[in-house]
Amino acid sequence: MGEYLFSGLKVIDCATVIAAPAAAMILADFGADVIKIEKPGNGDMLRMLSNITTTPYADSNWFWQLDGRNKRSISLDLKTEAGLGILFELIAECDVFITNQPYSARESMGLTYEALQPLNKKMIYASLTAYGEKGDERNRKSFDQLAYWARSGLMELMREAGTRPTQGLPGMGDHPTSLALYAGIVTALLKRSQTGEGSMVQTSLLANGLWSAAGIAQGVLAGGDMAQYRDLNRVESAMMRPYRTRDDRWLQFNMVRTEELLDLLLTALDALQLLTDPRFSTPELMFQNREVLGDKLQAIMETKTKDDWLAVFQSFDLPVNLVALVEETKDDAQILANNMAVKPKDVDVATPLVINHPISVSDVPQVGPKRAPDLAEHRDKILEELGYDGKDIADLSSQGAFGIESD
């Protein structure tokens, strides 16, 4: 084995935006040589996400550095015979080919698994779709906000009764989906090590959204009474609602789930008198009058700040947690201690901390964040590795293989 687990593994990232490219990034983090195929001109749309209004502006192109790190880049015009020919050469030598292109495009360019498998029988072909490989929606284009968040039912479930559904966060479904695709690739690599044969790996944004919603969706598939579920949850139980403190922060009580813990909580709140209130004298009555009980607890919570309450709850060893602000992430000692965000050693990475993927294996080192490539930065080197010289590259350029990047 080389310095890293996947040293020597050749990966072609022929995908766009987040989920599939992030799976390639994880492979690169463990040492794989990942070549990113980008369209000429602007390259992957991921390069632009740091500047959209739904993400926080910073001086660095942080979204590209997050998911584009540790890769090499070449831009190819796959609408030209020359550009597509280079891609086929790269595929013939790769271990893993990752794509999320619509099936109509794959079919027209000969990039389906069936078309490529004879070219490289040991290749792992990793396919990401929005809605799955089969069915009427097979060719639908989508992003995680649509397929993962809305189509799966998560968007409708994750709201308070009577309020409108809320939009998800950028990449919120993409990053979990990247882990599923990565897991499939690693599983297929293990199978290849045993049989010598490649495989097709597939997952979808919808499948991962449904998996995330499985704690409710499986109940539906089991014939559960959703009308009753919605009616019972129209008003949250007193322990399931968040509570606002005097300094306008929120605390979560939903791990207080036994009578013993509830007694301890009421003791910490100096509110044991609530247990003598006939409306709350039994667990059944507490649930029946849960809105009133919650309002009384809220009135108490408003008397102290979050720090005051957290100190009280800690003294009683109660499982109460603060609803964090994402702004606090950069100073979160727990996140830093566990390398959930790391300081890049590469001085060319402009952001001081980079979020790590959540996969950690003992004695399996990671490369660490290296600067995400400029568009087509490694074109000549990649082509030289395929056996092309300067004249060959110039000829390919004249044939339009690199689009406007040929200039």
Residues shown for the chain: 407
In the block, which residue shows the tokens 């000969």?
A: 110
Strand partners, 74: 37
HEC secondary structure over 128-188:
EECCCCCCCCCCCCCCHHHHHHHCCCHHHHCCCCCCCCCCCCCCCCHHHHHHHHHHHHHHH
Q: Comparing C-alpha atoms, which of 26, 54, 38, 34 is closest to residue 144?
A: 54
CA pair distance 271, 87, nearest whole angstrom? 69
**Can you spell out the DSSP letters for 30-70?**
TT-EEEEEE-TTT--GGGGGGGSTTS---SS-HHHHHHSTT
Rounded CA Rg of the chain: 26
Provide φ and ψ at 104, rounded to 5°. Answer: -60, -40
HEC secondary structure over 277-329:
CHHHCCHHHHHHCHHHHHHHHHHHHCCCCHHHHHHHHHHCCCCCEECCCHHHH
Distance spanning both ends of the chain, measured CA to CA: 40
CA pair distance 5, 231, nearest whole angstrom? 51
H or E element in which residue 391 lies? helix 390-398
CA pair distance 86, 394, nearest whole angstrom? 14
Strand partners, 204: 129
Provide φ and ψ at 341, rounded to 5°. Answer: -135, 135
Give the count of alpha carbons within 13 A of 321, CB side only. 8
Catalytic amino acids?
174
Q: Comparing C-alpha atoms, which of 16, 83, 29 is closest to residue 383?
A: 83
In whole angstroms, what separates CA 36 from the centre of its chain? 19
